[in-house]
Structure 1
Amino acid sequence: MTELHRQQHDHLDRLQQDYARVLAEHRYDGVLLYSGRPARHFGDDQHASFSAYGHFVHWTGQASLAHSWLLVRPGEPPTLYLYAPADFWHLPARLPEEPWVARFRVELRDTPEPPPLPRGRYAVLGEASPAMAQALGAAANPPALVAALDELRVRKSDYEVACLRKANRRALAGHRAARDAFLAGGAELDIQLAYLGAARQRESELPYANIVGVNAHGGVLHYQHYDLEPPGKRHSLLLDGGCRHRGYCADITRTWPGPDAAPEFAPLVEGLTALQQRLIAGLAPGGSFVALQRRLHEGLATLLVEQQLVNASAEAVLESGLTRAFCPHGLGHLLGVQVHDVAGRVDAEGRPLPPPAEHPSLRLTRELEAGMVVTMEPGLYLIPMLLEAHRHRPEVAWRRLEALADHGGIRIEDNVLVTAEGPVNLTSREG
């Protein structure tokens, strides 16, 4: 048995103990987790890409198992009802030959319907309709129970951290190959294909659709296309690319100047990278992520002044709200079996913690705790529709900004483990 397998056994032990406690607190005899089903395109016989329900993946690490069920009961091994019908059109699902499988009772099934439940009080979680749960005599996604189980995913086990490290290594291999493809003159599609090949992951298995923004496309926060032809000039590449390993997600962003970049661009990339590293150093148990969000904007104001994009004091830039036009998104979020992992906006009692009014896109508002893995992703973008509202400001160096308009934007993102001894960056700086 490898060290990873031993860590996985410990992870499963902890899950069994935690589920037993939560189920007892909420007076349930057990919970049935549904992996989910791929959605079919309307009027078609083709399905969309699929990823299993997070709580199912938390136990099994299997993000591609559809139509399967996991019954968890205190004092009993979990029962995995694996949908694996005899089929010559498709290869039936199968489990890996690994030690963790022996921890489960596995029952192969040829129907996607839910299994019957034993006597008692049960809940069904996942993409299960109230009618389906009612037919089983169970509750469908009771909010209090779901919130309590969400909380179990906030602090990562050693096994989960190991999986996240591996996902980061594979994603970084993709980033390096993508950078090389860009510098060699490739189009966005060429860059994406180079990424997939180096990360050894097919597109439908990625935790999210990679963002490959060349030039001005880097200023579209969730840019969703891949140009087939290379640009005439290569100013910049913003690549937000992930990878999934044993169900766990990497979420990394890098920005590189191209051979045709304006001389002002590289210092901005370097300045934002330095700011990101200072923000990472501030990650500690008990710290406020909302306070870090404010520090992000303080740092942006200073960078804008230092790089002569705004001719005013950093304090005046911050007070004016101008930095939010350059970075409208949040600093980061929880990371795990989902990219935007659960429980980022609740307190320890499960009560909502909405983002501050000035930062409505912030996905993580709770106090930091040891064991959390968070992304840290400051950005600096040239987004015309946001900057236009500040066109009346004479302190903004509009000519310098116009020289950078074709560069789109900058985002630097790492995945970081919060510990009592200090932050542990799971994303190597060599990317």
Structure 2
Amino acid sequence: MIAPDLAAAQGRHLDALARAYADILGTEGYDGVLLYSGHAHRHFADDQTASFAAYGHFLHWVPMAGLAHSWLLVRPDHRPTLYFHAPEDFWHLMPRLPEEAWVEAFEVELRAETPPPSLPAGRFAVLGEVSAALASALGAEANPEALTARLDELRVRKNDYEVACLREANRRALAGHRAAREAFLAGGAELDCQLAYLGATRSRESDLPYQNIVGINAHGGVLHYQHYDIDTPARRNGLLLDGGHRYRGYCADITRTWPGPDADPIFAPLVEGVTALQRRLVTALRPGLSYVALHEQMHAGLGTLLVEHGLVRCSADAAVATGITRAFCPHGLGHLLGLQVHDPGGRVAADGTPLSPPACHPALRLTRELEAGMVVTMEPGLYIIPMLLERFRDSRDIDWQRVERLADHGGVRIEDNVLVTAQGPDNLTLHDAE
């Protein structure tokens, strides 16, 4: 059962959504919008489907991430109508609405069919995974860019209900991280760590917001490593675990790196150094700060870290200027987080102005100034990635002997989920039990 205070916060959330949608629809000249939850897709030439998560704007209203083939009609001055797909089916368990207060905010129509409901007279938009032909048949527009952008912006700043869900998702994900670390230190393979994570979070893999990255040794240097080895390596140098959780639709996205029992003595201090850098960057978070500038602070800090740990012989400034720090960390500092792991709106200003990432930082997903209410990830990293370091092979600025000592350790990433407030950062990831 949902706690009473969270239920009350969700009620305020839905009231605020209704007001905001009315304003946005009025400004954009629409009488309403039909949101489609989406559906799972079959593998080619097969009858099995891939994992599914509901469309973010549908999920903003209806906290059921696995609800497929359902529709939500939102009109100003009307209770939103939820067309809830609940077919009679002996092959699968029929979806059920929870006994929670939020359901009373909707007119609910149970439907066995999957096509969209008919729309009343007026100008309507249909958002989600729908074709222009389907929308046209309804007399509506499919995914109009201006309306979608306004609704994306509505999700950029989180309210009390959303923050509470994100905080709970983090708490549960941390339980998985602790269990995976224990499995690793006990001699487990990557698969053992993943199974320990799932057990501690009481999750199945398809419920997670993304496939966990569980990289032992050099696999920790593959940024989106996608496998789980079933055998424990002869040497256990380190574990990098990027694991999340979803609570009422809202996502946690946490990364930790732990030295193993066979790690080179220079690895643990490097993990501590990246952790300290991450904490300093988190402390700097405040409204009005450019996230691009914060990303550049990360590279300055990485330059200093490389010098302090003897991986480069040049100055920290030179390591940044020559691109050495980007070879050790090719990804951005972080991104917006919410109903999607990479929530929309990170590269667009509040007024709709596109904000492209700097040419030298093309992977940066968040390029706008921070505002109170944003939840962002903070994830500096430092990796040994041979293909990126290769262009510096003839450079004497890098101590290749020390780099080679770390080659089978993969890398380090430390990632927390942080709420930006006027009073300072609120780290949703850190808990006393960590």
TM-score tier by shorter-chain length is over 0.9
* Offset from partner CA, 1:56-97 (integer Å, 9 cap, x none): 000011110000000000111110001101001101111111
Partner of 2:154: 152
Percent identity, aligned pairs only, is 70
Aligned partner (choices 39, 42, 54) of residue 41 of structure 2: 39
CA-CA distance at 1:395 after TM superposition: 2.1
Partner of 2:9: 7
* Offset from partner CA, 1:222-243 (integer Å, 9 cap, x none): 0000001111110000000000
CA distance in 2: counterparts of 1:113 and 1:315, whole angstroms: 59
* Offset from partner CA, 1:241-276 (integer Å, 9 cap, x none): 000000000000000000000000000000000000
CA distance in 2: counterparts of 1:319 and 1:352, whole angstroms: 27
Partner of 1:419: 421
Secondary structure, counterpart of 1:228 in structure 2: coil
Aligned-partner residue type, residue 411 of structure 1: R
Partner of 2:119: 117
Partner of 2:305: 303
Report which stretch shifted further, 248-257 or 350-359.
350-359
CA distance in 1: counterparts of 2:200 and 2:68, whole angstroms: 27
Gaps of 5+ in 2: none
Secondary structure, counterpart of 1:353 in structure 2: coil
Aligned partner (choices 62, 65, 69) of residue 63 of structure 1: 65
Aligned partner (choices 351, 354, 361) of residue 353 of structure 2: 351
CA-CA distance at 1:427 after TM superposition: 0.3
CA distance in 2: counterparts of 1:147 and 1:413, whole angstroms: 28
CA-CA distance at 1:373 after TM superposition: 0.2
CA-CA distance at 1:410 after TM superposition: 0.3
CA distance in 2: counterparts of 1:346 and 1:208, whole angstroms: 24
Secondary structure, counterpart of 2:232 in structure 1: coil
* Offset from partner CA, 1:93-130 (integer Å, 9 cap, x none): 11111000011111000100000001111000000111
TM (norm. structure 1) is: 0.99
CA distance in 2: counterparts of 1:72 and 1:80, whole angstroms: 9
Partner of 1:319: 321
Do structure 1's residue 199 and structure 2's residue 201 form an aligned pair? yes
CA-CA distance at 1:319 after TM superposition: 1.5
Partner of 1:363: 365
Aligned partner (choices 123, 126, 129) of residue 127 of structure 1: 129
Secondary structure, counterpart of 2:60 in structure 1: helix
CA-CA distance at 1:349 after TM superposition: 1.3
* Offset from partner CA, 1:180-217 (integer Å, 9 cap, x none): 00000001000000000001111001000000000000
Partner of 1:275: 277
Report which stretch shifted further, 309-318 or 407-416.
309-318
CA distance in 2: counterparts of 1:62 and 1:366, whole angstroms: 30
Secondary structure, counterpart of 1:4 in structure 2: helix
CA distance in 2: counterparts of 1:49 and 1:58, whole angstroms: 20
Partner of 2:168: 166
Partner of 1:261: 263
Aligned-partner residue type, residue 233 of structure 1: R
Do structure 1's residue 399 and structure 2's residue 401 form an aligned pair? yes
CA distance in 2: counterparts of 1:311 and 1:135, whole angstroms: 66
CA distance in 1: counterparts of 2:350 and 2:97, whole angstroms: 36
CA distance in 2: counterparts of 1:112 and 1:395, whole angstroms: 62
Aligned-partner residue type, residue 11 of structure 2: H
Partner of 2:106: 104
CA-CA distance at 1:348 after TM superposition: 1.5
* Offset from partner CA, 1:315-352 (integer Å, 9 cap, x none): 22122110000000000000000000001000111121
CA distance in 2: counterparts of 1:329 and 1:165, whole angstroms: 25
TM (norm. structure 2) is: 0.99
CA distance in 1: counterparts of 2:106 and 2:202, whole angstroms: 29
Aligned partner (choices 73, 76, 79) of residue 78 of structure 2: 76
CA distance in 1: counterparts of 2:106 and 2:220, whole angstroms: 45
Secondary structure, counterpart of 2:61 in structure 1: helix
